[in-house]
Chains A and B, each alone.
Chain A
């Protein structure tokens, strides 16, 4: 089954404790991206990747890092999480930059 898989789905952590949210897609998509969704603000792009080893900042990259060492994986790294990073995170992929996005199920992160 074609899908985008994120882990963990739910996480409660404390300020400053590094964490990684993994994202994997099995559709051989070149384009992958991360979004956060907050009430009243909609989906905001954090980082995106056009292909392996190619990443770019989205609208809200501060406090996040990404890497794209393999085509299928695009992990989101929070080196030192803070409470303002409490949010619902979505990973998405597409066969090309202009194509429709396929979203993962979301990861709800709470930073205390």
Chain B
């Protein structure tokens, strides 16, 4: 089976940087996704990592270390609209996708 851990909640100030960690244990690894979900809405895709390293996309970056079973999502220059839940999801062998419980990020003025 798969086990995915991420913090439940984080608070940060507008304009700051926040790093959301995700650790996972899986039998076979086929990629890691990050999704953003605003309250009452559907998740939307942010990033995908399948190889080790950093993927940068504007204010958001995602990092993966397969040997450590570890990823993080970095949100820079935080804006109020970034207040949302951030979901880490791991695709294992056989294409089964498992989500972590999500990290709720609250951005304060």
User: Contact at A98–B96, with CB atoms within 8 Å?
Assistant: no
* Distance of B25 from chain A, by nearest CB (Å): 15
Q: Is B18 an interface residue, CB under 8 A from the partner?
A: no
Alpha-carbon distance A45/B42, docked complex (angstroms):
15
- Number of chain A interface residues as a range: 20 to 34
Q: From residue B20, how far is it (CB to closest CB) to chain A in Å?
A: 14
The answer to whether B99 touches A43 (Cβ under 8 A) is yes
Is A111 located at the chain interface by the 8 A CB criterion?
A: no
- Contact A98/B31 with A50-B95, A90-B43 known, Cβ cut-off 8 Å: yes
CB distance from A4 to the nearest CB of B (A): 8
* Interface mask (B14-54 → A, CB under 8 Å = 1, otherwise 0): 00000000000000001101010000011111001000000
Question: Cβ of A45 and Cβ of B44 under 8 Å apart?
Answer: no
Residues of B within 8 A of A58 (CB): 96
Question: Which 8 A-B residue pairs are closest in the complex by CB-CB distance?
Answer: A103-B42, A97-B95, A100-B45, A43-B99, A42-B101, A42-B99, A103-B43, A42-B102
